[in-house]
Amino acid sequence: MKNEKCPVLNFTQQIGGKWKLPIINTIRNHGTLRFGKIHQMVDGVSRKVLTDQLKSLESAGLLTRKQYEEIPPRVEYSLTEKSKGLCEVFHAIEKWSNLADK
């Protein structure tokens, strides 16, 4: 049993922490977004932390980053197929949260 990786541990290693789920959820709800818009919508995250979290999510294959060759530079983030698989998890969280509030 020790050689098998715990699914919950695997999940938290990839998207654990304070900001990754809110970032993914924001993009899930609003579609492809630019950095500034994500920063505006994810309440309380600093620009540096957001940058670090976006890089981490991109390297984990959960977000795609598209940079346009424009001045000023424009970068957009969107969900990958891998992160779209989390939609059911978000629906379950929303359902649980709504029940917990009652």
The b-or-e profile of 49-61 (16+ CB within 10 A means b, else e) is: ebeebbebbeeee
Beta strands in 1-102 (DSSP E): 33-34, 63-68, 74-79
Q: What predicted TM-score, i.e. pTM, was given to this entire model?
A: 0.84
10 Å Cβ neighbour count for 79?
Answer: 19
* Residues 68, 75: Cα–Cα separation, whole Å: 6
* Structural domains in the chain, sorted by start: 13-100 (1.10.10.10)
Q: Dump pLDDT digits (tens) for 25-49.
A: 999 999 999 999 999 999 999 999 9
Q: Dump pLDDT digits (tens) for 63-91.
A: 999 999 988 889 999 999 999 888 888 88
